[in-house]
């Protein structure tokens, strides 16, 4: 079995490296940035300069791509150049309605499309411990499960688009959690209490958990280097709002999250780490949070 990997950014590169390291299969890779291709090659992968080589040669095509037009084009090109029986695994955060449309395109060509978004950010991508939520044909999932397991813990969520919906559930929850962490620590700073002490006192309580452990130290240090960018998370929140509208339901908590993320976008912070959303509260509360006060 030959594997192709398209998109080697903050998440994609460590994921691709884990597939190279653990799968035992030849892995071709493509990215628009030469630096990423060089890093992929250094890890033992085979870089290509034309993504069509992946579509033509590979039995399993893994893609983690940034926008819906790029995702759509990649699947269409995989169908154009590939062969019946190929399995396309979209690891991107793609809207459910687009997945359903592309699933029909793949199905008509005798191929399989699995919507398989991931969660855990760059640290878990490096560690190979991502949460992986996969919808689509069950038999196709079982065939690629060993490959997905190189990157984390795959769970079969059901039929087409169920993985994408599950990811939206995850990121609705994570978005609200991240915003309220930012709000709470701005509240703490305004009250004049020590943030590190606050973290030490609360990390073992009900507020604690993996996100808390990862993001609060970054907030305290004012480290906004992205493990996961606001821009990427905002895309999921917009997808969630779109699908909520499709279902005819209100999501008031998600509205608040989107308001804060929109502020980040409008004020030039959209490519920073999610915990940089504390900047919204710094402006609203008139306080500096973390770093040297």
Retrieve residue 277's tokens: 């959303």
Retrieve residue 79's tokens: 């169908």
Residues 6+ apart with CB under 8 A from 69: none
Q: Return the number of other C-beta atoms located less than 10 Å from residue 38's C-beta.
A: 12
Catalytic center residues = 167
Per-residue burial over 54-78, b = 16 or more CB atoms within 10 Å of its CB, e = otherwise: bbbbbbbbbbbbbebeebbebbebb
In three-state secondary structure terms, 249 is: coil
Alpha helices (H) along the chain: 12-23, 34-42, 51-57, 68-81, 96-108, 121-127, 138-148, 162-191, 195-202, 210-221, 230-247, 252-266, 278-285
Residues 6+ apart with CB under 8 A from 6: 29, 30, 31, 51, 54, 61, 62, 63, 64, 65, 74
Which of 258, 256, 260 is closest to 278 using CA atoms? 260
The residue assigned the tokens 């190979």 is 128
């Amino acid at each position: 079995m030959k594997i192709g990997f398209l998109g080697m950014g903050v998440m994609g590169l460590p994921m691709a490296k884990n597939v190279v390291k653990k799968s035992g299969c030849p892995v071709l890779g493509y990215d628009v940035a030469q630096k990423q291709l060089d890093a992929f090659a250094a890890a033992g992968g085979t870089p290509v300069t034309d993504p069509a080589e992946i579509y033509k040669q590979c039995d399993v095509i893994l893609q983690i791509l940034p926008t819906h037009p790029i995702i759509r084009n990649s699947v269409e090109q995989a169908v154009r150049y590939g062969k019946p029986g190929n399995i396309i695994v979209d690891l991107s955060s793609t809207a459910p309605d687009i997945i359903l449309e592309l699933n029909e395109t793949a199905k008509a060509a005798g191929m399989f499309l699995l919507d398989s978004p991931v969660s855990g950010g760059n640290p878990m991508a490096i560690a190979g411990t991502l949460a992986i939520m996969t919808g689509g044909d069950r038999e196709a999932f079982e065939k690629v499960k060993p490959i997905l397991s190189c990157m984390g813990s795959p769970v079969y969520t059901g039929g087409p688009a169920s993985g994408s919906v599950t990811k939206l559930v995850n990121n609705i929850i994570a978005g609200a959690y991240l915003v309220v962490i930012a709000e709470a620590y701005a509240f703490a700073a305004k009250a004049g209490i020590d943030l590190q002490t606050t973290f030490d006192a609360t990390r073992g309580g009900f507020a604690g958990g993996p996100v808390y452990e990862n993001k609060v130290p970054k907030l305290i240090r004012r480290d906004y280097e992205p493990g996961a960018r606001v821009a990427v998370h905002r895309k999921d929140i917009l997808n969630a709002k779109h699908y909520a509208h499709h279902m005819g339901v209100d999501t008031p908590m998600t509205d608040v999250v989107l308001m804060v993320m929109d502020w980040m976008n409008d004020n030039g912070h959209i490519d920073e780490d999610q915990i940089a959303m504390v900047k919204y509260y710094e402006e609203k509360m008139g306080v500096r949070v973390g770093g040297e006060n």
